[in-house]
Structure 1
Amino acid sequence: MASAHDRAVLQAIFNPTTPFGDIPGLNQEEELTDDDSGFDIELLSQVKELEMRGVSAAEAGDLQAALQLFSQAIQILPQRSSAYNNRAQALRLQGDTAGALQDLDRAITLSGTTGRTVCQALVQRGLLRRLICQNDEAREDFEKAAALGSEFARQQAVALNPYAALCNKMLTDVINKLRNPEVSEML
């Protein structure tokens, strides 16, 4: 098995535009899960079933049914964040950005700082904030989600960081000159 240093070197070789030592998933030892231990088991089971049906309805294009199912789940366990996150996705698909942002804010507040739902909600909110040109706030959300292990969020945070983009561009230019010294002499 390769050491962390070996993986960092390989990352730099095969992905020269990422910062050195930035190894996706290195610090994430297990998949994120939500702590549902504080909820009644029967109610939790009922809510999870409603959410699964809501996701299926949304995937089938029936956003109204999905919204109703997610709202039912929220009524049963209003302190559980997952249904807010899922309803936000359906609201976004319906074009209700403000409603989606409200649900994402609620999901993030309820989730705290760890878990799968907060990671997903931060990524979703970051994307919506980019859509409405709130790039600084979007970058903050992506950075938080990246710290939880989201590779996509890490890429978005880097893309929104002008200093990182400039450094990555300069590093890429240097590596390209080292790989092709004849081409750089002609320029």
Structure 2
Amino acid sequence: MMKTAFLVASLWACSVSVAGAEPCPELLNYKMTKLRSSEQIDFCQAFQGKVILAVNTASNCGYTPQFKGLEALYQKYKDQGLVVVGFPSNDFNQEFSEAEKTANVCYINYGVTFPMLEKSQVKGAAANGFFQKLIKATGQAPAWNFHKYLIDRSGNSVAAFPSAVTPEQLDSKISALLSAK
């Protein structure tokens, strides 16, 4: 009798937690491998409920110093729910072919601690699935490296910003999204 009551209570608790879980926004229904790793990031599990700044990056671009500003934003707001996600790409012929060299630029040269993903395409028919969704949502494909997409906590509202828009210029927009409930 005691075991049966415990089993029923356990099953009920599981069904309540599953029923109460927020469904994952379609945009975040994606997985990708981290840079220089075999670990995959499930965007729903890792990023749901957070404000996301997704950026296509390149190690040998005039905009590469933006890594410093991206990392500063991440450090300033990560505890409030911001995640910056870097997507290295050679679509504009400015990324190394070796993941180790890309990692050195990000982690050693710029001290990046936010998630960096494996090199992928971010424009055209061969763009990774996440960028295909971002392009569809905004009508804007990256025209160059360090194109930025800002996504609200619901994963539904997306805004795009060209490379010349610096991370510092996005500070007030990020702050407003983090404050919105």
Query: Normalising by structure 2, what TM-score?
Result: 0.21
- Return the structure number with greater helix share: 1
Query: Normalising by structure 1, what TM-score?
Result: 0.21
Larger RCO: Structure 1 or Structure 2 (Cα < 8 Å, ≥ 6 residues apart)? 2
